Amino acid sequence: MRVRPAAGASGRRSARSVVALALAGAAAAAVLTGCSMEDAVCGGGEYPVLHVGSSGSACQPDGEDPPKGYARYPEGKVPEHIGDKWDEYWNKHTLDEDGKIVELKDGQ
């Protein structure tokens, strides 16, 4: 004798399977395409610039020079994601008017 599942039980199981499959597919797509789940410092078509003399920063459109009072980050020390190694570093350091890296004093 076969036991029949309660009404709607197979529908719930099926819906859960579809959701699980969709989540697994999204995770696999992110891994395979190299997408990061971290928040980017700037959006596509932009690069980050540092406010000279403080820890402030902004995003500048690719192909445009930094605005007055801002500078490009030194090569190899550009933050890419919020909270990454260089984002944290530049919270405590800046560039002076001569482009030299200096440590910030509290309150800057």
Q: What is the pLDDT of residues 25-61, one digit of tens each?
A: 655 554 444 455 569 999 999 999 999 999 899 999 9
Task: Report DSSP state, residue 62.
Answer: T
| Length reported for the chain | 108
Residue 40 falls inside a structural domain: no
The arrangement of strands across the sheet holding 70-72 comes to 57-61, 46-51, 70-72
Segment 74-88, tens digit of pLDDT: 999 999 999 999 999
Q: How confident is the model at residue 106 (pLDDT cuts 50, 70, 90)?
A: confident
Looking at the fold, whether 64 and 25 belong to one and the same domain comes out as: no
* Percent helix, percent strand, percent coil in the chain, to nearest 5: 30, 20, 50
Nearest to 57 by CA among 36, 86, 35, 34: 86
Looking at the fold, whether 53 and 96 belong to one and the same domain comes out as: yes
Token pair listed for 103: 């440590």
Q: What is the pTM of this model?
A: 0.63
Q: What are phi and psi of 63, to 5 degrees?
A: 90, -10
Looking at the fold, whether 50 and 84 belong to one and the same domain comes out as: yes
The rounded distance, in Å, linking the Cα atoms of 26 and 106 is 43
Residue 41 falls inside a structural domain: no
